[in-house]
Structure 1
Amino acid sequence: MIFKEIRYILFLAIILCTAKASAQYNDSTFYHISFAPMGSINKANGNTAYLLNNNLKFNIRKKDISLNFTNTWIYGRQNVGLTNNDYSSFIDFNLYKGPEHFYYWGLLNYNTSYSLKINNQLLSGAGIAYSIIDKPTAYFNVSDGILYDTSDLLLAGNNVTYHTYRNSFRLAIKFNINNVVTVESNTFLQNSLDRGYDYIIRSTNGLSFKLRSWLSISSSLNYNRQNRTGSENLLFTYGMNFEKYF
């Protein structure tokens, strides 16, 4: 499994590095692709634990609209036991129309997670966002909207299918220091509108140091809680981020 991951990493790194990369979006740069293979391995006294966290993003940005596609796969084992086999796929768009600093968003999100006891989950919805700060070096954004959640969960050893509407609140922060150090955070709180105990928390936090225009050293701290199943995870991984603007 680990050697297969290494082959994927090397293959995608070659693809991302074969052309000249731009530092950011501009009048002639509309696309961005990045691949971040990260993980952690601990082996001591005959015990082995490892965690692989792979993130692939593709973004399109035009004047009035952006489209973002993200796939994340987390796989972990401790000795011979499986701890994580979690996959998430996002596709979302932002429509920059209307009052200044406001924009409209919509998303479709599929999840399956061994650690959070999610067999299948599909979230779809829309809302509005406001950028309190929107500069190349600093970004502070809040958003809110309504999601429709249809899920198949593992509860007390049984598969349970249900659906609910959720309020989805997000806080997004990003700082760029001298185009070298980037700190970013995205946190979601998604409460069911008809079940007070049913909420989802997702928090993704990253720190990266740019070595080249296409290469960064990255670390990630992620927290997830699916309160209906009583499951949560806290994941810390580190690795590389390969990216290219074109």
Structure 2
Amino acid sequence: MMQLTGFSQFSDTVHYYVNFSGTGNLNRTNTTGSTYLLNNTLQFQVNKKKFSINSLASHVYGKNATVKTNDDFLGILNLDILKGIQKFYYWALTSYEKSFSLKLDNRFQAGAGVGYTFVNIDKANLEVSDGVLFETSDLSIPDAHGQTSYQTLRNSLRVKYRFIIKEMFRFDGINFYQPSFSDGNDYILKLKANFSIKLYKWLNFTTTFNYNRQNITNTENLFLSYGLSMEKFF
């Protein structure tokens, strides 16, 4: 599960939020050729006072002078219940992921849990949630047990935060730790942080840091990208 972020408190009327970010980096020399990474993310949310529905689709593609380094897709659908009216809330989630860099052909997760909001004001937000996910995965390479396909139950611990300074600077992020109940060496770690500078009321310059690790195959990726993001409430 990756980033699903809202930036306001909502009344009992329906509100919508859409965000598209296109970031990346490029390096070219006359000796090694070109290296590039493209990171595109689209988010859409429907928010009411008692529940919110959040969706996300992201694609990362990278290549250096000789080989492809990234071709990673993530899709998420998330439901939060009672989050807008009390600190203690409930969530349900389903996600699909494939990742060339993590040697993951397919991963499907679905589950539910509870969360607690420590801070939720216009300029600051801090949440912690936990729950159980069912996962089925197909791998490009054998894992530590020689498997290329398996199912497991995972604990999913999430820490999410957002801080806005002087209506111009925003720092937000979301971190996941997902160990398997049946194997302590089988865990997924996802760290994502964004720093944005507002250029216009709907346009931001954004720098994104991502780190992902799939320990069962000893694979990981890390990248830093920068570019523009556009967002709109309506």
Global fold match (TM > 0.5): yes
SS at match of 2:172: strand
Aligned counterpart, 2:3: none
Counterpart of 1:45 in structure 2: which amino acid?
N
Aligned counterpart, 2:217: 229
Aligned counterpart, 1:86: 72
Structure 2 counterparts to residues 1-246 of structure 1, below 5 A = 24=8, 26-27=10-11, 30-46=15-31, 47-96=33-82, 100-156=86-142, 160-246=148-234
Shift of 1:24: 4.9
CA displacement, residues 112-153 of structure 1 (integer Å, 9 cap, x when unaligned): 000001000001000000011111111111000000010001
Tell me the TM-score normalized by structure 1. Answer: 0.87
Shift of 1:179: 1.6
Call closer, same or farther: CA 1:217–1:29 in 2, change over 3 Å.
farther
Q: Distance in 1 between matches of 2:192 and 2:210?
A: 5
Name structure 2 gaps, 5 residues minimum.
1-6
Retained in 2: the 8 A contact 1:221–1:235?
yes
Q: Distance in 1 between matches of 2:22 and 2:168?
A: 19
Identity of aligned residues (%): 37
Q: Which has the higher helix share?
A: 1
Name structure 1 gaps, 5 residues minimum.
1-22
Q: Distance in 2 between matches of 1:219 and 1:97?
A: 28
CA displacement, residues 130-186 of structure 1 (integer Å, 9 cap, x when unaligned): 011111111111000000010001224987110000000001111011221110110
Retained in 2: the 8 A contact 1:154–1:229?
no
Counterpart of 2:229 in structure 1: which amino acid?
N
Q: Distance in 2 between matches of 1:194 and 1:41?
A: 41
Counterpart of 1:172 in structure 2: which amino acid?
K
RMSD: 1.9
Q: Distance in 2 between matches of 1:212 and 1:99?
A: 31
Retained in 2: the 8 A contact 1:29–1:245?
no
Q: Distance in 2 between matches of 1:129 and 1:159?
A: 33
Further displaced range: 93-102 or 224-233: 93-102
Call closer, same or farther: CA 1:192–1:55 in 2, change over 3 Å.
same
Counterpart of 2:15 in structure 1: which amino acid?
F
Q: Distance in 2 between matches of 1:39 and 1:97?
A: 33
Q: Distance in 2 between matches of 1:233 and 1:29?
A: 38
SS at match of 1:42: strand
Q: Which runs of 4+ in 1 moved over 6 A?
A: none
Retained in 1: the 8 A contact 2:9–2:122?
no
Q: Distance in 1 between matches of 2:222 and 2:180?
A: 22
